[in-house]
Amino acid sequence: MKAVVQDRYGGPEHLRLADIPVPEPRASEVRVKVLACAVNLSDWEHLVGDPLYARLVGGLFRPKNPVLGSDIVGVVDKLGTGATRFEIGDRVMGDLVMVRGGFAEYACVSEAEMIRVPDGLTDDIAACLPQAGGIALTGTEGLKPGDTLLINGAGGGSGTMALQLAKAAGAHVTVVDNARKIAWLEALGADETIDYRVQDFARMGRKWSRILDMVATRGPSRIAGCLATGGVYRAVGGRVSVLLSLVFGGLVYRPAKKSIGMLMVPSGRDLTERVARAAVEGKISPHLEAVLPLSSVPEALRRTGLGEVKGKLVIKP
């Protein structure tokens, strides 16, 4: 089968389109013919092996699985021993961020992580949902009318869906991204926009009741200055040193009623079902910039790593 293969950590130039054996499902796995697989920032992290947690999950010195791609939509074509949840021909979707394998013609996935794709979702839209939609749902839970939310790194898949959910909840939303996305984010409904290359939101003297930070780069003292009393800051990703400083250093600000820490996303079948249901009900609608072939994976990852993509890119083998 055709697959985009990663032999070592590094940039997109180390990826190659190759013929590799079709995988065989193990116990409790199903094999799917891949219909679509979204590109995520987590793919970039596993490609370059940075932050450190990418190597702790994917292999310390070299990748355990040479094929990236975790938001997989496919048709079941073979069942492993003991796999009983699906039948041959079922269209399924799921977030396989811990094992990956979606940038290929076939992938073997744990049936416990997958759900049937609702009839109302196309393959491409379904692929955009599991990981990015799960972050958006979890990161906006509890928002209410009158809340002020800042989304740092708002122009990607998670940020745009979080923007939709926050506006539906009645929150006033400030978004941060690069200049090329500002007008686009305003058109999507952002109340205020900040070009991070021109202004640092942490130095504006402003305070928000909620901050959702897609890639944390600031320590707890700077974040605390941006939070209103009773405010909540959650980081989705970032360097391990920064994340640890937020988790442990953030405890200092609890007496001031400021909660600073990481966003804990309960990835898995239950969350994927919630995200898919939200999409079917029209509560979230992924912004799909382009659908690309396997040969475009290196360029798609490069653009994702640089933050150039508006919404999501999807690979279609």
Any alpha helices (H) in 24-156, and if so which ranges?
Answer: 41-48, 52-58, 123-128, 130-140
pLDDT at 92: 98
Domain ranges of the chain: 2-129+286-315, 133-262
Peptide bond into 51 cis (omega under 30): yes
What pLDDT digit, counting tens, does each position of 92-102 carry?
Answer: 999 999 999 99
pLDDT at 53: 86
Residues 179-205 have a mean pLDDT of 96
Interior angle at CA 41, CA 282 and CA 250, nearest 5? 95
Q: Are 155 and 188 in contact (CB under 8 A)?
A: no
Residues 53-72 have a mean pLDDT of 92
Any alpha helices (H) in 41-129, and if so which ranges?
Answer: 41-48, 52-58, 123-128
What DSSP character marks residue 223?
Answer: H
Q: Which amino acid is at 30?
A: V
- For 2-129+286-315, CATH gives 3.90.180.10
Give the domain 133-262 fold. Quinone Oxidoreductase; Chain A, domain 1 (3.90.180)
Whether 133-262 and 2-129+286-315 are alike in CATH topology: the answer is yes
- Comparing 195 with 58, which gets the higher pLDDT? 195
Residue 150's H or E segment, with its range, is strand 148-152
Which one, of 285, 267, 49, lies nearest residue 57 by Cα?
49
Please give the Cα distance from 132 to 140 (Å, whole number). 12
Burial class of residue 254 in the structure, from the number of CB atoms within 10 Å of its CB (0-12 exposed, 13-18 middle, 19+ buried)? exposed
What pLDDT digit, counting tens, does each position of 195-208 carry?
Answer: 999 999 999 999 99
What pLDDT digit, counting tens, does each position of 20-43 carry?
Answer: 999 999 999 999 999 999 999 999
- Mean pLDDT, the chain, integer: 96
- Model confidence at 10: pLDDT above 80: yes
- Model confidence at 267: pLDDT above 90: no
pLDDT at 24: 97
